[in-house]
Chains A and B, each alone.
Chain A
Amino acid sequence: ETGVTQTPRHLVMGMTNKKSLKCEQHLGHNAMYWYKQSAKKPLELMFVYSLEERVENNSVPSRFSPECPNSSHLFLHLHTLQPEDSALYLCASSQDSRGPGELFFGEGSRLTVL
């Protein structure tokens, strides 16, 4: 496989459920990101990891918990979400977390919170 792969592509969960989104990159990149894409809003950067260390957390509610066990894998653990958390969650990677490097995105995980 090549590029950035996200699973699942679609997820429906209740507000009391616990689920996880998974992202895997096969590009040898050192940085990985979680973005939230909601209708009619700019892409929101949620978390940045560089060499498995979290370097940025943009005031994201604690009901979203990221995990980066190695430079190729990134998870987003979800618990007690709200309906307004329904969105497309995009994972991306880049060679480095600094500088003008190109972002490579996965196809996204469409989350619906009931």
Chain B
Amino acid sequence: AQSVTQLDSQVPVFEEAPVELRCNYSSSVSVYLFWYVQYPNQGLQLLLKYLSGSTLVESINGFEAEFNKSQTSFHLRKPSVHISDTAEYFCAVSDPMNRDDKIIFGKGTRLHILP
């Protein structure tokens, strides 16, 4: 079964500074990868996803993530964060070879934006 590791439980970063949130998944022949974001007092919402094709995927609010098969990683990056990016970010994975496979979530990384 797939598993997801988010090593950082919290990441503090100054406003307008770059940020990287790390995500590693257990090795598999193929994977679907997701980043979900949970703003305070809200449910999770999809930020971006990798299913196939280009290994670099982008969100509408400036985040991007790169699928790196050799390192089994899907790190999330943003070149300049804003106070509104304060949230918890969840990496998730599923197995496209097993259509009964459900999405597995990491423990989440809380992003703190410092003024």
Minimum Cβ distance to chain A for residue B48 (Å): 11
Residues in B with CB closer than 8 Å to A43 are 44, 90, 105
User: Does more than half of chain B's interface fall in helix, strand or loop, or is it mixed?
Assistant: loop
Closest to A96 in B: B99
Residues in B with CB closer than 8 Å to A42 are 4, 104-108
Q: How many residues of A contact B (CB 8 A)?
A: 21
User: Does more than half of chain A's interface fall in helix, strand or loop, or is it mixed?
Assistant: loop
Interface residues of B in 84-113 (CB under 8 A from A): 90, 94, 96, 99-100, 102-108
Contacting pair B49 A102 (CB below 8 A): yes
Q: How many residues of B contact A (CB 8 A)?
A: 24
- Tell whether A100 pairs with B94 under 8 Å between CB atoms, given A40-B9, A40-B107, A42-B107: yes
Minimum Cβ distance to chain A for residue B5 (Å): 10
Contacting pair B96 A107 (CB below 8 A): no
A4 at the B interface (CB under 8 A): yes
Interface residues of A in 11-57 (CB under 8 A from B): 40-43, 45, 48, 56
Contacting pair A100 B44 (CB below 8 A): no
A55 and B102 alpha carbons, distance in the complex (Å): 11
Contacting pair B46 A103 (CB below 8 A): yes
A45 and B100 alpha carbons, distance in the complex (Å): 14
Name B residues whose Cβ lies closer than 8 Å to a Cβ of A. Answer: 4, 9, 32, 36, 41-46, 49, 51, 90, 94, 96, 99-100, 102-108
List the 8 shortest-distance A-B pairs measured between CB atoms, nearest first. A105-B43, A43-B105, A98-B99, A100-B32, A105-B44, A107-B43, A102-B46, A42-B107
